[in-house]
Amino acid sequence: MAKYEVKEFSVETKDGKNPIRIFHELDNWELNLIASFDTLEEARAELARFVPTVKNMGRYFYHECACIEIYEEGDDGEWNSYGDWEEVSFKEVEEDSEKEVKAVISSMLKEKFTDSYFDDIGAHRTSDNEYDINGIYDNYVLALEDYDDADEDDKKKELKKAFDTWTEHYISEEDFKDTAPEEYKEWKDFHKEA
């Protein structure tokens, strides 16, 4: 005789991929019971209601997953699990979606600053600067966590907000030239010599 328990668990990954493999590599598993059933069909129906998530936390990705764990009744009447999972429900980061958003951010940088810009300490940056693109993207993803189900208008609004907040202390090369001509000339001369 067997019973089937639907359990949820969380795991952190570096790249948003393979949360189940990473979970099994952990020394200590922590599974939280959602519900227990006598049949696999009932357990599958419960698992289908679970919504797996993956959130970009900046330095890592946080996955909320679920599984069906099988328990067998022993001769002593005790229920034993041997770590067998019938099915799992999990979500990985969508690379295509991330690439698409980062491409939009790159276009926004090029549109606002043409090809290059400067931060408030005079450091030169270019429109394909990965640090800025990743920073804007991470703040955008964090903002979307406040939504239960963000629609396209919400996403556009939060992307613009993340972009404006991140770049508010940047100036275009043309503005740098107009507002600080001497410093700009020194910068241009330095790079000519280099």
What would the pLDDT profile of 94-153 be if each residue is shown by its tens digit?
Answer: 766 788 899 999 999 999 988 788 886 678 888 888 999 999 999 998 888 888 777 888
pLDDT for residue 115: 79
**pLDDT value at position 96?**
60
Only one residue has tokens 């041997």, namely 82
Smallest CA-to-CA distance from 138 within 58, 54, 53 is with 58
In 3D space, the residue among 4, 12, 13 whose CA is nearest the CA of residue 35 turns out to be 4
pLDDT, mean over the chain = 86
Q: Could you count the other beta carbons within 10 Å of the beta carbon of residue 141?
A: 20
31-60 per-residue burial string, b: 16 or more CB within 10 A, e: under 16: beebebbeeeeebeebbeebebebbbeeee
In this predicted structure, the answer to whether residue 35 has a pLDDT above a threshold of 90 is yes
Return d(Cα 21, Cα 85) in angstroms, integer. Answer: 13
- Residue-wise pLDDT for 15-27, tens only, equals 889 999 999 888 7
Nearest to 23 by CA among 12, 14, 34, 32: 12
Q: Tell me the residue ranges of DSSP E strands in the chain.
A: 2-13, 32-37, 53-56, 61-73, 79-89, 116-118, 124-126, 171-172
pTM: 0.52
Q: Within a 10 A sphere around the Cβ of 7, how many other Cβ atoms?
A: 21
Place of tokens 């493999």: 21
> For position 86, what pLDDT does the model report?
82
Q: Cα–Cα distance between 14 and 59 in angstroms, integer?
A: 7
Contact call for residues 66 and 52 (beta carbons, < 8 A): yes
Q: Please report, in angstroms and rounded to a whole number, the separation of the first and last CA atoms in the chain.
A: 77
Backbone angles phi, psi at 21, to 5 degrees: -60, -45
Query: What pLDDT is recorded for position 105?
Result: 93
What pLDDT score does 66 carry?
Answer: 95
Could you report the per-residue pLDDT of 155-181, keeping only the tens digit for each?
899 999 999 999 998 988 888 888 888
If DSSP codes are grouped into helix, strand and coil, which group holds residue 23? helix
Q: What residue ranges do the domains of the chain occupy? A: 2-89, 95-193
For 58-73, write each residue's pLDDT tens digit: 778 899 999 999 988 7
Short-list 51, 71, 53, 60, CA closest to 5: 71
